[in-house]
């Protein structure tokens, strides 16, 4: 037994050794394969790295120049400005830069600056893992101060492995040739701080009006945060972002041991006081500012080379771009001159806006406090204008205010202000015409309107009654616009307005007050020009733009604008709206606009004239103009809607003086002019007065086909103005034309102003009551009788003469008829009448009415007679001499007898 056990152990031992041997052999093979793979990959990587290094620029110590200047050109290719032509750089030695300022830059940009050889592997690994964690590249960089210096001096800003390898290689070479102090000195004297300041000394002067050696820890921390993206982290441009960046720098300084906790707290508590920023020196700043900060930076962000606004601004100011714009220098200068002309303003006061905002935070003011008025303040009121080509979309001129300066750089054409009635064509009338709900000749009721507690009124608190769409818009009446907007619905109107170009409409604007300009945030002058350009361009929207193309420093085209037209309205709708808005100029609210050129326009003012708009356009130019106070409740626009016309009269002729006058093209599908009644919107009827007949144009498919059914003629008593009663004298009865208009409200205590007001055309409505002025009848005829005679069949009416009556009137009605007809008027000397028009089997009712010398009628005497089918002969009565009366009485109306007129209803008057 014991011998067998030892044998088994031996066998197991041999088997174990065999397995270990095989495993060891496998590991050696794998290690060998890994080593071979590593050598191959490494050799490949080294080959690639070598090729990158071989292609790297030569390390030329003379190539450490400032960044390449960028240029902006106008529409004709003329240079507007350089960004910047002369760099504000003051070179100083490192010894003049406080250690805490040096450390601020080292802490935020390269905390192991004194430890690495130009490239920081630890920072690279850290950035790698942070980017992995954030699941996107570019969140964290690993470039050292040395690499940043190399990148700006020798390389392009492209993000490629080639550029990174070359950057590391050149940084290594720079570190071999220069000491850390020399590299840091070059870096601090070279970096850009925005506003034309290059280097730490220029930055200290620009931001704090002091030398670099006077900077505090807090100030040094703020400046150290700027170079990451100068035009983004500048405290002048983005205060909150700048202070957040400063806090990050100070925290980093404490983290790496450059400052104590006490110094950190003191630095964060120090108040940052900036010096006044120097006025920009480039021309046409309102246009250039828009190009730089609103359009150009967004264009660059669409390119793969730029993933942030910081990188876009870096390219704008430092990479030698050539930016070709749409600026029309002549139009820009003209616009600037007009808006700067103080003689056009009814008020020119200067206000310290910082002081004003402080006071307003402490109390409520309705006018400018005396202590805010300052000779160095910002002029009030302010104005803004946008000039563009509606066909191409090119923005020709932009002016965002007057007196551009260090404290007044607001682009007010991008400020949201209430448009007043200038929005009516965009949200109401153009959409309603496009939706075939209205035409220029459609009728709207300008009568008292109420929804809930809201009672909109016209600015003069009058209600004009039934008016056409054209008149409602030409005179900018509010109530008709509200009724039209309600019919259209805010949803449809707002959607059209957005498509036309109004980008600031809010979800809370889906209400009826929107058509009057009562918006949540308002609109911009820029958007108003964009929207009206759709009307000027036959319903086609071409998005406005200011940048035509961009070339890089090597003159290679990297961007060119391409328009994408969108049909928002039909050409017919655009033309109809334009035709109405031309009437606004000819005879409406912009009636004082006179430029000797076909032009359409719309005015708009807000409550108490806080804001005033005027948008004017020709087939080739659209101009949007706004005037008001920066804080609306503190001032008004004297003259209301008429004020912008003064500016437009001064501006438009200068812009179009080189253009040949052309009118708007009338498209097919427009009919007219066609005569219509301006109360019914239909073709004139027989009773439409001449003053109600106007000419109008229509979409061909919506020309009215029926005649007016609102105008009618009625007899009235001229004494009472009511329907004639039975006893009104004939000479006081006349026929007049009336308007049978729809029902309406009368104002009550829910409306402001006088109660009992209604539409002015309610005075044209026909009376519904009978005259009570003439209540005493004339004397009645005596012994009225009717006899039936045969051979021939006829009736004989007879009565006794009355001395007070000068005329007798005979009326007849068949049983079943509604109206009695006048048979004959007889003089007061005749007392008999034969009716030869009777028929067998019919019941007749006769009325006899007497008229006295004053024209007053008597009460009617009535006689009913039935003529049977089998009538028997009856001899006619004779007179006193035995003569047949038929020989005496007129059996037919005598020549010239008055048988005209419509008979009275039963009973006759």
Residues involved in catalysis: 109, 421
| Beta pairing, strands 197-198 & 88-89 | parallel
Q: Identify the bridge partners of residue 614 per DSSP, sorted by sequence position.
A: 603, 625
Distances (CA, A) of 204 to 97, 241, 279, 445: 11, 19, 17, 67
DSSP characters for 684-750?
Answer: --TT--GGGEEEEEEEGGG---SB-SSEEEEEEETTTSSB--TT--GGGEEEEEEE-PPP-----TT
B/e letters for 316-346, b = 16+ CB within 10 Å, e = fewer, are bbbbbbbbbbbbbbbbbebbbebbbeeebbe
Residues 6+ apart with CB under 8 A from 620: 389, 390, 391, 656, 659, 662
Could you tell me whether strands 566-567 and 540-541 are parallel, antiparallel, or unpaired per DSSP bridges?
antiparallel
Collapsing DSSP to helix, strand or coil, 373 comes out as strand
Structure tokens belonging to residue 647: 């500016």
Nearest partner of 546 among 392, 655, 383, judged by Cα: 392
Q: For residue 821, what is the enclosing H or E element?
A: strand 821-827
Residue pair 627/341 in contact (Cβ under 8 Å)? The answer is no
CA distances (Å), 454 to each of 257, 450, 482, 750, in order?
Answer: 66, 6, 11, 9
With 0-12 / 13-18 / 19 or more C-beta atoms within 10 angstroms meaning exposed / middle / buried, residue 888 is exposed
- Tokens linked to 492: 């449809």
Q: Any bridge partners for residue 865, and if so which?
A: 844
Query: Whole-angstrom Cα distance, residue 739 to residue 729?
Result: 25
Residue 447 CA to residue 758 CA, distance in Å, equals 6
What are the φ/ψ torsions at residue 602 (nearest 5 degrees)? -145, 130
Lay out the sheet containing 395-399: strands in order across.
Answer: 395-399, 382-388, 622-628, 611-617, 600-605
Cα separation of 78 and 284, whole Å? 13
User: Using CA atoms, how far apart are residues 653 and 641, in angstroms rounded to an integer?
Assistant: 20
DSSP state of 902: P
Tell which residue, 286, 292, 248, 283, has the closest CA to residue 267. 248
| Torsion region of 753: left, alpha or beta (phi above 0 gives left; psi -120 to 50 gives alpha) | left
Look at the block and give the residue holding tokens 């008025």.
373
Beta strands in 529-682 (DSSP E): 540-541, 547-551, 557-560, 566-567, 600-605, 611-617, 622-628, 670-677
Q: What count of residues does the chain have? A: 909
For the CA atoms of 833, 836, 840, 842, the dihedral, rounded to the nearest 10 degrees, stands at -50
With 0-12 CB in 10 A as exposed, 13-18 as middle and 19+ as buried, what is 41? Answer: exposed
CA distance 420 to 636: 14
Query: The tokens of 729 are what?
Result: 């004298």
Q: Which two tokens stand for residue 850?
A: 């007497």
Q: Which residues pair with 628 in a beta bridge?
A: 382, 611
- Containing 198, the helix (H) or strand (E) segment is strand 197-198
């Amino acid at each position: 037994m014991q011998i067998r056990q030892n044998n088994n152990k031996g066998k197991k031992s041999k088997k174990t050794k065999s397995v270990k041997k095989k495993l060891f052999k496998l590991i050696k093979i794998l290690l060998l394969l890994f080593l071979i793979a590593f050598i191959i990959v490494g050799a490949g990587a080294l080959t690639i790295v070598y090729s990158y290094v071989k292609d790297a620029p030569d390390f030329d110590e003379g190539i450490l120049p400032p960044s390449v200047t960028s240029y902006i050109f106008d529409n004709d290719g003329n240079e507007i400005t350089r960004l910047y032509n002369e760099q504000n750089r003051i070179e100083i030695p490192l010894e003049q830069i406080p250690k805490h300022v040096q450390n601020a830059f080292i802490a935020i940009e390269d905390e192991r600056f004194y430890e690495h050889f130009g490239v920081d592997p630890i920072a690279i690994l850290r950035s790698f893992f942070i980017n992995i964690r954030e699941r996107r590249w570019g969140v964290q960089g690993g470039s050292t101060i040395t690499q940043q210096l190399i990148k700006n001096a020798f390389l392009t800003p492209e993000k490629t492995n080639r550029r990174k390898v070359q950057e590391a290689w050149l940084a290594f070479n720079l570190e071999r040739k220069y000491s850390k102090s020399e590299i840091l000195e070059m870096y601090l004297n070279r970096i850009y701080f925005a506003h034309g300041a290059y280097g730490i000394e220029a930055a200290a002067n620009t931001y704090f009006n002091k030398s670099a050696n006077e900077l505090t820890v807090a100030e040094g921390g703020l400046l150290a945060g700027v170079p990451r993206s100068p035009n983004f982290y500048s405290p002048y441009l983005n205060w909150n972002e700048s202070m957040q960046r400063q806090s990050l720098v100070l925290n980093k300084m404490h983290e790496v041991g450059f400052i104590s906790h006490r110094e950190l707290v003191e630095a964060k508590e120090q108040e940052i006081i900036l010096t006044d920023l120097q006025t920009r020196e480039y021309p046409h700043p309102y246009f250039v500012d828009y190009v730089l900060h609103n359009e150009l930076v967004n264009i660059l962000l669409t390119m793969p080379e730029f993933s942030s606004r910081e990188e876009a601004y870096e390219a704008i100011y430092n990479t030698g771009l050539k930016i070709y714009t749409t600026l029309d220098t002549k139009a820009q200068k003209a616009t600037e001159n007009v808006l700067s002309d103080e003689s056009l303003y009814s008020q020119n006061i200067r206000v310290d806006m910082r002081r004003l905002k402080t006071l307003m935070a402490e109390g409520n003011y309705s006018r400018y406090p005396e202590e805010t008025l300052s000779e160095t303040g910002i002029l009030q009121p302010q104005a803004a204008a946008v000039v563009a080509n509606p066909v191409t979309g090119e923005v020709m001129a932009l002016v965002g205010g007057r007196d551009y300066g260090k404290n007044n750089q607001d682009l007010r054409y991008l400020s949201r202000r209430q448009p007043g009635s200038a929005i009516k064509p965009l949200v109401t009338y153009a959409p309603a015409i496009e939706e075939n709900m209205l035409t220029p000749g459609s009728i709207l009721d300008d009568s008292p309107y109420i929804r809930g507690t809201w009672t909109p009124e016209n600015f003069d608190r009058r209600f004009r009654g039934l008016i056409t769409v054209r008149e409602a818009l030409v005179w900018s009446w509010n109530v008709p616009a509200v009724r039209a907007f309600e019919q259209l619905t805010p949803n449809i109107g707002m959607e059209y307005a957005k498509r036309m170009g109004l980008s600031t409409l809010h979800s809370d604007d889906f209400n009826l007050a929107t058509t009057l300009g009562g918006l949540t945030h308002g609109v911009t002058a820029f958007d108003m020009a964009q929207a009206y350009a759709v009307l000027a361009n036959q319903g086609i929207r071409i998005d406005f733009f200011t940048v035509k193309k961009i070339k890089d420093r090597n003159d290679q085209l990297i961007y060119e604008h391409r328009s994408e037209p969108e049909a928002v309205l039909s050409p017919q709708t655009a033309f109809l709206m334009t035709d109405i808005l031309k009437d606004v100029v000819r005879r409406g609210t912009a009636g004082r606009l006179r430029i000797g050129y076909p032009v359409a326009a719309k005015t708009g003012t807000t409550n108490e004239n806080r804001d005033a708009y005027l948008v004017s356009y020709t087939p080739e130019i659209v101009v949007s103009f706004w005037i008001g106070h920066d804080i609306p409740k503190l001032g008004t626009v004297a003259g209301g809607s008429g004020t912008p016309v003064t500016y437009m009269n001064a501006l438009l002729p200068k812009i179009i003086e080189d253009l040949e006058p052309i009118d708007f093209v009338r498209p097919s599908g427009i009919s007219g002019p066609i005569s219509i009644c301006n109360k019914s919107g239909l073709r004139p009827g027989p009773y439409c007065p001449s003053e109600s007949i106007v000419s109008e144009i229509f979409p061909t498919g919506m020309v009215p086909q029926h005649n007016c059914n609102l105008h009618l003629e009625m007899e009235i008593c001229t004494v009472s103005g009511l329907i004639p009663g039975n006893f009104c004298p004939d000479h006081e009865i006349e026929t007049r034309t009336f308007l049978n208009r729809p029902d309406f409200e009368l104002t009550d205590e829910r409306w402001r102003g006088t109660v009992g007001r209604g539409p002015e055309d309610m005075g044209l409505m026909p009376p519904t009551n009978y005259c009570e002025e003439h209540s005493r009848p004339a004397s009645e005829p005596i012994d009225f009788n009717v006899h039936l005679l045969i051979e021939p069949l006829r009736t004989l009416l007879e009565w006794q003469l009355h001395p007070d009556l000068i005329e007798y009137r005979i009326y007849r009605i068949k049983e079943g008829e509604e109206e009695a007809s006048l048979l004959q008027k007889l003089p007061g000397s005749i007392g008999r009448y034969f009716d030869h028009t009777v028929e067998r089997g019919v019941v007749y009712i006769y009325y006899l009415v007497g008229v006295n010398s004053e024209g007053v009628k008597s009460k009617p005497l009535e006689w009913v007679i039935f003529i049977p089918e089998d009538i028997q002969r009856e001899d006619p009565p004779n007179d006193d001499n035995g003569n047949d009366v038929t020989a005496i009485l007129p059996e037919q109306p005598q020549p010239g007898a008055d048988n005209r007129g419509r008979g009275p209803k039963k009973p006759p008057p």
